[in-house]
Amino acid sequence: MSVPARADHRTELTPASYHRAMTRYAAFLRGVNVGGVNLKMAEVAAALSDAGLAEVRTILATGNVAFDSAKSADAVRATAEQALRQRFGYDAWVLVYPIKKVQAIVDGYPFEAEVDGYQSYVTFVSDKDVLDELAALADEAGADEKIARGPKSTGVIYWQVAKDHTLDSTIGKTMGKKRYKSSTTTRNLRTLVKVLGAQPS
């Protein structure tokens, strides 16, 4: 289910000018509605809209948001994190990507996406050193786990693991460390497909 914000911030532009000026982004909030941080997505959408992001829409209840902005991804990330921290009073961490990049990341998934008894994941990583550390775990993957680094430009780790073993997998156990909190977040591949499917045509 996707939830639009209560308002947008379109300027007095023609539709063509608006789309030339704006980039459509996907933002992934870390740790929302898991681990004690419980937020209503309609309130998240309102907070981001009030912060100046346009055409805000949330997808599912796991901290997936899409919106338009004329700013860079880094600037949008800072705006989103500040807005969430001020509105909800928690240590918000957000990873932001142009929606076209998310499409390329999904298209580049290197394993068979739908395998009976397995979950397919993408971990987004904003810190190069952390990305290197997680990519090195491919050598430690067990028999029921696959790990691969995405193309250099994507900044992601692709992985697949047997169902019910996500948390005790090589990646899962490593991701629980506090030092990865600010620079990583993971999404099921099916969730990313839903994020892409919720975008305006």
DSSP 65-123: EEEEESS-HHHHHHHHHHHHHHHH-S---EEEEEHHHHHHHHHT--S-S--TTEEEEEE
The predicted model gives 90-103 an average pLDDT of 95
Cβ atoms of 2 and 198 within 8 Å: the answer is yes
Residue 6 has pLDDT above 50, yes or no: no
Q: Could you count the other beta carbons within 10 Å of the beta carbon of residue 95?
A: 24
Taking the C-alpha atoms of residue 125 and residue 49, their distance in angstroms, rounded to an integer, is 25
List of long-range contacts for 82-91, beta carbons under 8 Å, 24+ apart: 82/51, 83/47, 83/48, 83/50, 83/51, 84/29, 84/44, 84/47, 84/48, 87/43, 87/47, 88/39, 88/43, 88/47, 90/37
The mean pLDDT of the chain is 89
pLDDT, tens digit, 9 for 90 and up, residues 70-87? 999 999 999 999 999 999
CA-nearest of 70, 58, 74 to 23 is 70
SS3 190: helix
Taking the C-alpha atoms of residue 196 and residue 26, their distance in angstroms, rounded to an integer, is 9
Token pair belonging to 42: 């309609």
Residue 3 has pLDDT above 70, yes or no: no
* Confidence category of residue 7, pLDDT binned at 50, 70, 90: very low
pLDDT, tens digit, 9 for 90 and up, residues 106-154? 999 999 999 999 999 999 999 999 999 999 999 988 888 999 999 888 9
Between 107 and 169, the higher pLDDT residue? 107
Question: What residues form DSSP beta bridges with 184?
Answer: 125
Residue 95 has pLDDT above 90, yes or no: yes
Domains defined along the chain, listed by start? 2-101 (3.30.70.1280), 103-197 (3.30.70)
The predicted model gives 33-57 an average pLDDT of 91
Between 2 and 64, the higher pLDDT residue? 64
